[in-house]
Amino acid sequence: MLLVWAMSTNLCSVTNRDPLAYSTVYCKVRPYLISSLFMISRTNIVLACADRHALCSPDVRIRAFSRSQNAFRLIPLVILIWICLPIHIAIFNTIEGNQCIVPGVYRILYAVYAIICASILPPFSMAIFGLLAYRNLRYMQRRIQPTNSDQRRQTRIKRTDYKIMKMLSVEVMIYCASILPFPINTVYAAVTVNVIKSKDRAAVDDFLSFLAGSVLQYMNTSTAMYSNLITSAAFRKELKKFFKNRLKLHRVLNNAASTKEHQIVPEDGTPLNN
């Protein structure tokens, strides 16, 4: 949803006059939705890390968190929270000098909000839950006795859950690497907003801002499947199985349609049964 909204509006501004230069409603709605969808995505990754930590925990009460019922409750809650919290963006964003800007003192407040919500809390939470999950795995591998049932449980943790943790860890590392330039650029833009810049410096600043605020963040949103393909044989196997099933279904539907088209129809118009 994030990529469809952000990329389609970017492409629209390339071939037409950018609505950010003249539409106040668009200036408010576009950045608000992008921020909201970004934070929903980031928070879901944090919850996935918390789920891995809970699943590997030796504490029964913590393990109870890693249940699908909790996911069904938390995901709508996350969506609701991040629909409401970034509403200040839609309130304060405005157009000045044919540019959609963050005005006045709110520019500093927005920079603080963006740094805390996008660049501090998510990566630190992901790292903490990831380290706790790794510690729990090591603890369980040392403590589990080699009985048949426990051995099967340990094997499951080592194989299935370890593969999921590996995929999630790579996704977290990509997120942290791609998000790091964003707070740096946000602070720099807030500090130098009143500085008179040469054309060359302004062009370089605009390029770096575009790179940190758009390219790297959108790349982070779209690389999860590719990183999973690289890091997990199980994911590759499941994806291959998915496409094979889709192709098989497509062939079945095509054969059914072809049979229907070539069905013999008698003179009375009643089709014959195959």
Taking the chain (274 residues) in runs of 10, the rounded mean pLDDT of each run is: 83 78 86 90 88 81 84 92 92 83 81 83 86 76 56 56 75 81 78 80 85 79 81 84 88 77 54 51
pLDDT value, residue 220: 75
- Tell me how far apart the alpha carbons of residues 234 and 218 are, in angstroms, rounded to a whole number: 26
pLDDT value, residue 274: 47
pLDDT value, residue 65: 85
pLDDT value, residue 262: 59
Instruction: Give CA separation, 273 vs 74, 251, 256, 261, 265, in Å.
Output: 51, 21, 13, 13, 10
The structure's pTM equals 0.72
For the record, the structure tokens of 69 come out as 């019922």
- Walk me through the domains of the chain, giving residue ranges and CATH numbers: 2-8+15-173 (1.20.1070.10)
pLDDT value, residue 75: 92
pLDDT value, residue 80: 95
pLDDT value, residue 10: 78
pLDDT value, residue 74: 92
